[in-house]
Structures are given as structure tokens and as C-alpha cells.
Amino acid sequence: MLYDVSLTIDYSYDAASDRTRNILRLLPSDIPGVQTVRQRLLTVHPRPQERRDGRDFFLNETSMVAWHRPIDALKLQLTARIERFEPAPIFDFSPPLDELHHELLMVPSLAPEAPHHFIAASPRVALSGAITEYAWECLNEGVTALGAVEAVGRALNRDMAFDPEATDVDTPPEEAFEKRHGVCQDFAHVMIAALRGIGIPAGYVSGFLRTFPPPGQPRLEGADAMHAWVRAWVGNQLGWIEFDPTNNQFAGTDYITIGYGRDYEDVAPVRGAMRTSGGHETSQAVDVLPIEEGAA
């Protein structure tokens, strides 16, 4: 599938900030077997006095931008053309869940892909007794690691309601779980806590999701949003698989990846500090437009 993706994020600050320094994680990159980025452009207004693009520990693309003078608004614009490949069908070659830890010990590595980064509590995802207990209850005797991921993901999709009003960007997963309400970030965080609780390494994926207009209605521009889902490590043979608890499916051709992390904090699209006392407002518009191969 070929997509034109565009994203605009606007910030405005009540009080002009003295200095601003941000790390942006907005640029999608090539991922073998998953996607190829044919072109991409990230523009920043006002023009930053410093900009350095690089990669972080998890190999996500980062753009460090800084202003040494006050700014009272910030506009980030991304346009990209991305080819998303059809994922190979998944056959369950994963070990039984109770043998997964043994396989984990066979990976003596701290490389970015290594599962060890994703097994412990992380800055935004504390392990939770309630969530872990819930996860165990979703499982049948002798379940495989992959089966456990799917069971937990589908259960959460069934039991949690999508609700943009119930939570905000800083809501801890335990609270979202207790309310059984939230947005994709909450679904992902709760599922990550659940999987880690039962011994499955799990991480956060940020990116875009192609959405479909209601039948008979035209696509609305800018109506899409940034999206988040989960990836889980299910043994040496299958490695990482991706599941979207918000939409109750494995990530397929509708999903475009920006970055991987332990939780939201590792892949927050805009991280950074302004030296300002006032609050700020932000708005976001996302378009994921499928391109007919012929038209491309």
C-alpha cells in the first residue's frame, strides 16, 4: 500500500518562552519488511536556530530543535510518502508462555531490539497487580506466548471503551484500566503493563493509522490522528509481533510506524521544555491518504 501522510501540530504559548528546546520524533524511516519511506519532509516554524537530526537508542529518528530567543507559537509539519508492505501471515511458532522466560535468558544482548528493555516497569508504565491479575484471567492453560498476546489484546478491546474525554496524556495505565476508558495511548499502556506482568516483553509503537470514513460519506481531511499500538516479543523464532488493542487486530497494511519505545515517553512526538510560566495549547491534524499505485 502506498500512502501520503501529512501531519500538522500547532503549539501556542500564553507567555512567550525565554528559550525553547525540543526533541521531535516525527520522522518515519525505513523498516525492512515493514515499510519504505520514499520521501519525507519535516518543517519547523519559526525556523529553529539549531537543528540536528539523529537517532536515539531505539534507533528512532530524532530532530533536536532549539531557539535562543522567545517564541510564542510553534508549527510542525510533516509530509511523507510511504510504502507499507503486506505483512507475512503469522504462524504460531512461539513457545508456551511459561517457557518464554527461558528463551529470554538465551538473548545476551542489550541491542535496541533486545527484549530485555521491555520486560521491566518503564517511566510511564508501572507494573500493576490489578492489571497483571486481569491478564492471567484472560489465559487458558498451556497458552503460547503469541496466544497470550492475542488473548490479552482482544480482552482489553472488549472490556475497555474508547473515550477521548476520560483520560489525558499523563494518565497512568492503572487509572485508565480502572476506568476501563481511554484513547489509543491508554489501551497501549494498559496492554504493555498486562503483558509485562505475565512475563512477555512489550513495547509501544507510535505511528499513523489509515482510517475509513463511515459508509456513504466522503473522507474528511485532517480527521485522522496519530496512533499508538503495542509490540510484543514472543520468543526467538517469531521475535516481535504488533497488536493494536484499540482496534482489536494485528498491525497490517493500514499501519505506518514512526518509532518504537518502552512507552510513550520514549517516542513522544514532541518532547521538551520551554522556560515559561504560562500554559500552552496544542492542536493536531493528520491525514493518511492512500494513493492508487497507478496515480503514484
Partner 1 sequence: MTQNPIRVSAQPDLFASYGQTSGVADELFDATGQMRPVWRRFVDRFSRLSPEDIRARFERGDQYLRDAGVFFRQYSNDPLAERAWPLSHIPVILHELEWEHICAGLTQRADLLERVMADLYGPGSLVSDGHLPAELVARSPQWLRPMVGVEPRGGHYLHFIAFEIGRSPDGSWFVLGDRTQAPSGAGFALENRMATGRIFPERFPRAHIHKLAGFFSAFREATEELASPSYKHPRMSGILTPGPSNDTYYEHTYIARYLGMMLLEGEDIVVENGEAMVRTIEGLQPLGMLWRRIDALFADPLEFNPTSQIGTPGLMEAVRTGHLAMANAFGSGVLEMRAMMAFLPRISEVLMGEALKLPNIATWWCGGVNERNYVRDNAQNMLISPADAVDLPFDLGATTALGGEFRGTAMGSIADWLDREGDRLVGQEAVTLSTTPAWDDDGESGSLVPRPMTVRVFAARTALGWHFMKGGYARIGSSDDATALAMQRGGSVADVWVVSDRPLPKEGPKRQVEGNYRRVSPGVLPARAADNLYWLGRYMERTEDAARLVRAYHLRLAATDNRNDPRLKMLRDYLEGFGIDLAQPMPEALITRIAAARNCAMRVRDRFSTDGMSALGDLLKTATRMLETVQPGDDSARAMSVLVRKIAGITGLVHENMYRFAGWRFLSFGRALERADAMAALLAAFSDPKAPEGSLDLAVEVGDSIITHQRRYRVESNRDTVVDLLALDADNPRGLLFLVRELRKHAEAFPNAQLHGRPSELLRVILPLETGIACARTEEMTVARFNAIRGELARISDLLSSIYLR
Residue 73 or 120 with smaller CB distance to partner 1? 120
Residue 26 or 155 with smaller CB distance to partner 1? 26
Distance CA 18, CA 67 (A): 9
Mark residues 252-281: x for contact with partner 1 by CB under 8 A, - for none. -------------x-----xxx--------
CB of 25 to partner 1, least distance (A): 12
> b/e for 106-130, b at 16 or more Cβ within 10 A?
eeeeeeeeebebbbeebebbebbee
* Residue 72 binds partner 1 (CB under 8 A): no
Residue 45 or 69 with smaller CB distance to partner 1? 69
| Stretch of residues binding partner 1 (CB under 8 A), selected from 37-45, 58-66, 212-220, 252-260 | 58-66
CB of 67 to partner 1, least distance (A): 10
121's CB contacts (< 8 A; 6+ apart) are: 127, 196
CB of 10 to partner 1, least distance (A): 21
Distance CA 214, CA 40 (A): 29
| Stretch of residues binding partner 1 (CB under 8 A), selected from 50-58, 80-88, 228-236, 251-259 | 50-58
Contacting partner 1 (CB under 8 A), which of 33, 89, 108, 294? 108
Residue 23 or 166 with smaller CB distance to partner 1? 23
Distance CA 222, CA 200 (A): 36
Q: How many residues bind partner 1 (CB under 8 A)?
A: 29
* Residue 123 binds partner 1 (CB under 8 A): yes
Contacting partner 1 (CB under 8 A), which of 15, 21, 31, 147? 21
Cell of 7: 501531519
The binding site for partner 1 (CB under 8 A) comprises 18-19, 21-23, 50, 56-58, 64, 66, 68, 104-105, 107-111, 114, 116-117, 119-120, 123, 265, 271-273
